[in-house]
Amino acid sequence: MSIRRISAIAVLMFTVGTTAAVIAVSSPAQAETVAQNQQPNRPGGKGGGLFDKLNLSADQKQKMQGVRDRYKEQVSQRMQAVRQARQELETMMSSPTANASQMREKHRQIMGLRQQLEEVQFESTLSMREVLTPEQRTQLSQLMQQRRQSAKNRMMPGQKPQ
């Protein structure tokens, strides 16, 4: 393989990796997704689940589980579609026969699938929000902000927390 082709593949792989990292850092839907997928009364990492910290009533827990159940399959299907399309793009990048326009089209497809996934996650979040009291909503917002800040600090270990 020529140096030019190897360089082009390396640049493409770097671009895809960087894009994925930027999306992971800049997408607040990720923290919300983590909260949505936690089971009631089940620890979600070191500090317990977000919803465990909200002191939900039994009725609220039941309603939250109903929302999770309602959106679980849609989220799962969309996540699988994104994973599959990303795998296809990785395969295309290592293929000597794939051209740039095919890879661009696959990238556009991935971006569309991610948008669909985020829309379902957003709808799920809105449904869960309706179950919470105004005080719990405020508390959840603060907890999510803390979690995002912690994640940001882990991504940039050389920076001092503000």
Alpha carbons 33 and 49: distance in angstroms, whole number: 12
Q: Is 2 helix (H, G, I), strand (E, B) or coil?
A: coil
Tokens of 153: 């600090």
Give domain limits for the chain. Answer: 28-143
pLDDT computed for residue 155 by the predictor: 82
| Beta-carbon count within 10 A of 13 CB | 13
pTM of model > 0.85: no
pLDDT band of residue 4 (cuts 50, 70, 90) is low
Alpha carbons 104 and 109: distance in angstroms, whole number: 9
Alpha carbons 126 and 123: distance in angstroms, whole number: 5
- Which helix H or strand E contains 128, and what residues bound it? helix 100-131
CATH of 28-143, one of 3.30.2000, 1.10.3470, 1.20.120, 1.10.10: 1.20.120
| Residue for token pair 């679980």 | 72
Higher pLDDT, 31 or 81: 81
Q: Which amino acid is residue 12, in one-letter code?
A: L
Poorest-pLDDT segment among 49-53, 73-77, 129-133, 158-162: 158-162
pLDDT computed for residue 159 by the predictor: 57
Tokens of 11: 């640049």
pLDDT computed for residue 154 by the predictor: 87
